[in-house]
Chain A
Amino acid sequence: MKRALPLVAGAMFGAGACISGMVRPSKVIGFLDWRSGAWDPTLLVVMVSALVVSVLAWRIVRSLRAPWLGGNFPGPPSPAIDAKLLGGAVLFGLGWGLAGYCPGPAVVSLVSHVPGALVFVAAMIAGMWIGDRARIGDDG
């Protein structure tokens, strides 16, 4: 189960990214670029439907004492809003808006015929290495 559960969860993520079209940067840019001729609302539809399910998931978490496979649930979220959070979010937004790849769908696309995903993920891992140098460790 400790292997099967994350494997199945990863497969579900991959299926969701493929079915919704979020593995296509052109579709993501079609949402983000408000001046493009054909605005594509799919990203918003994906986010809203995923948020509804996620709210329900946290309700289930609150009704359980511990995760199914043991361990602990995460503690309450930190309220600290600092320069690292804001600066990081701005950099992420810049990168996301430039090419339309975000980390999850890019990983799903690694084995596709489009070379962009491979270049993106390699550059992202290098960027993560740099980002980790610049932050004091906290949770993942």
Chain B
Amino acid sequence: MLVHGVLGGVLIALSLALMLVGTGRIAGLSGVVALLVRGDDRAWRAWFVAGMLAVGGAYELVAPQTFDAVAPRSLPIIAASGVLVGIGTRLSNGCTSGHGLCGMSRLSKRSIVATCAFFGVAVVTATVAGRWS
């Protein structure tokens, strides 16, 4: 478990580092998705998402148990959650990867504040939601 967490974290960070060192871009995932849907510089975002989907699809074929067998929350809750994540990440301009990793690691004050806020709220929300579901 611990080894998988470390290996996965290192790979996720190397992915962001490769984009940064290779192209100078902070490839936070909320920005990648939002600006792929409507933005000017779409090509690299499309290739990035293609890489993500290819690996996700490969895991689905070879090791479907990588994913949850059933979603832990009901679909209406998931839909509400998606809307909140979409609005929130655009307003604050980043998510777990953009603020939590790219920004925090360069000691960006905005990213540190945002990450503390969304982590704190997420812990309270998940703990409260967990008692009712």
Residue numbers of A with Cβ under 8 A of B are 1-26, 29, 32-36, 41-43, 45-58, 60-61, 64, 66-69, 71-74, 77-81, 84-104, 106-116, 119-132, 134-135, 138-140
| Secondary structure of the B contact surface, majority rule | helix
Q: Main SS of chain A's interface residues? A: helix
Which chain B residues lie closer than 8 Å to A90 at the CB level? 88, 117-118, 121
By size class, the interface of chain B is: 35 or more
**In the assembly, what is the distance between CA of A57 and CA of B14, in Å?**
8
Decide: A99 near B81, CB < 8 A? Known: A13-B51, A26-B68, A115-B71: yes
Across-interface contacts of B14 in A (CB, < 8 A): 12, 16, 53
Q: Are B86 and A112 in contact (CB under 8 A)?
A: no
Give Cα distance in the complex from A31 to B113, angstroms. Answer: 20
Using A10-B48, A89-B117 as known contacts, say yes or no to A127 and B73 having CB atoms under 8 A apart: no
Separation of A97 and B123 alpha carbons in the complex (Å): 6
Residue of A nearest to B107 (CB): A77
